[in-house]
Amino acid sequence: MPLTPTGDIVRTAVSANQGVGAFNVIQLEHAEAIVTGAEAAGCPVVLQLSENAVRYHGGLAPVGAAVLAVARAAAVPVAVHLDHATMPELVEEAVGLGFTSVMFDASVLEYEENVRATAEVVARCHAADVWVEAELGEVGGKDGVHAPGARTEPGEAAAFVAATGVDALAVAVGTSHAMTTRDAELDFDLIAELRAAVPVPLVLHGSSGVADEHLTLAVERGMTKINIATHLNQVFTDAVRRSLAENGDLVDTRRYLGPGRAATAAEVARLLPVLNASVLAV
């Protein structure tokens, strides 16, 4: 089916009080696995390429084109999103390639500079009909929105959205990036306060560290876009390790990357219903 705008998927989820799974891609196998899992679950999904993944591949165009092709071949609605971009030039390249949304991350800047830089990116992206997510950093700090103990203040979040015109906001409510254990303690009361104060969908970064039941509760309290990366990498890597351990003579990469892809697809299919996701008409 045609590539689906991220905004269409997210807005439909908001109206149904459901979550949207947004999963990060590193290799092509990740993109294939995520779409296969979404198709099995009958759910829409967002494929994300981070600035770090782009750096790993040496540029956006080749891997971006591949992810867009996988998305366009899917049997369910799929959006393609640039995640944690800190360079406006990379945002412009993604827009030119046809990405349906970007996340511009100026959260390490002081508040006023974050607002200025984000508003400039929003203006350019909206002119191209591209949806923009941003991240609000810790007040007065340089560690960013996911520093230990960081929390987003609802009033400031609402003011930031009004000043920048962003379409979605990543907020700090107790998660942290790159967690390999699922024991993050979310502030569910804060999530509800943010949902009441902020007029755009909320995004939960660092969701790999959140247990299933708390992901469901986070969506019920007001989170919509749920970003998961490290957890799927663990699933993929564990399956690859098992394949290599069982057959030390393997040299054909398909023989061990294939099981990683299959395991990741199964986990995506399992996770999407946890987010209260369902088939969405977009």
pLDDT digits (tens, 9 = 90+) for 93-152: 999 999 999 999 998 888 899 999 999 999 999 999 999 999 885 423 335 445 556 788
Query: What pLDDT, on a 0 to 100 scale, did the predictor assign at position 153?
Result: 86
Bridge partners (DSSP) of residue 195 are none
Query: What pLDDT, on a 0 to 100 scale, did the predictor assign at position 282?
Result: 42
Averaged pLDDT, 28-41: 98
Query: What pLDDT, on a 0 to 100 scale, did the predictor assign at position 177?
Result: 62
- Whether the per-residue pLDDT at 203 is higher than 60: the answer is yes
Between CA 118 and CA 161 the distance in angstroms is 10
Query: What pLDDT, on a 0 to 100 scale, did the predictor assign at position 86?
Result: 94
> 212-245: per-residue pLDDT in tens?
888 999 999 999 999 999 899 999 999 999 999 9
Helix ranges (DSSP H) in the chain = 6-15, 28-41, 51-57, 61-72, 88-97, 111-127, 154-164, 188-197, 212-221, 230-246, 253-274
Share above pLDDT 70 across residues of the chain, in percent, rounded to a whole number: 88
36: CB partners within 8 A, 6+ apart = 261, 265, 268, 269
- Cβ-defined contacts of 55-60 (< 8 Å, 24+): 56/26, 60/90, 60/93, 60/94, 60/97
Provide the pLDDT confidence category of residue 268 given band limits of 50, 70 and 90: very high
Query: What pLDDT, on a 0 to 100 scale, did the predictor assign at position 280?
Result: 45
Q: CA 147, 151, 154, 156 torsion: positive or negative?
A: negative
Averaged pLDDT, 162-179: 83
Between CA 50 and CA 155 the distance in angstroms is 29
From the list 24, 62, 25, the residue with the least C-alpha distance to 208 is 24
- For residue 50, give the H/E element and its range: strand 45-50
Is 212 among the catalytic positions? no
Averaged pLDDT, 239-258: 94
> 47-93: per-residue pLDDT in tens?
999 999 999 999 999 999 999 999 999 999 999 999 999 999 999 99
Q: Which amino acid would we find at residue 121?
A: V
216: CB partners within 8 A, 6+ apart = 274, 275, 276
Between CA 194 and CA 3 the distance in angstroms is 30
pTM, whole model, 2 decimals?
Answer: 0.91
Query: Look-up: residue for tokens 């804060």?
Result: 190
Query: What pLDDT, on a 0 to 100 scale, did the predictor assign at position 137?
Result: 56
Cα 44 versus chain centre, distance: 13
- Catalogue all structural domains in the chain, each as residue range(s) with its CATH number: 6-136+151-274 (3.20.20.70)
Q: Which of 83, 105, 167, 187 is catalytic?
A: 83
Q: What is the mean pLDDT of the chain?
A: 89
